[in-house]
Amino acid sequence: MRKIVAKAVTAACNERGAEMVEWIVVLAVLATVAAIMFGPGGVLTNAMNAGISRLSNIITNSSYSVLTAPATRAAVSTSS
């Protein structure tokens, strides 16, 4: 255990080791942000699902109104 701690301290004091630690921290932050944004229940996932559901409802409602439209309305729109 002492050898591991000694290597970690040496790496932290070394320029290359300090830079490696900085990159590990940056990657950890990026992974956390990505998990929050894109993960299940994430901000963007919920927004995309809500948008897709809304578009689906608009398409369903408009196609339903076309299928159930009275015949006179269809005749008027085709004669114009």
pTM more than 0.75:
no
Cα gap 7→1, rounded to integer Å: 10
Q: What is the pLDDT of residue 78?
A: 56
Give the pLDDT confidence score for residue 77 in this predicted structure: 55
DSSP character at residue 39: S
> What is the token pair recorded at 13?
């004091």
Q: How far apart are CA 59 and CA 65, in angstroms?
A: 10
Confidence of residue 4 (pLDDT cuts 50, 70, 90): confident
- Express each pLDDT in 14-59 by its tens digit: 677 778 888 999 999 999 998 888 888 778 888 888 899 999 988 8
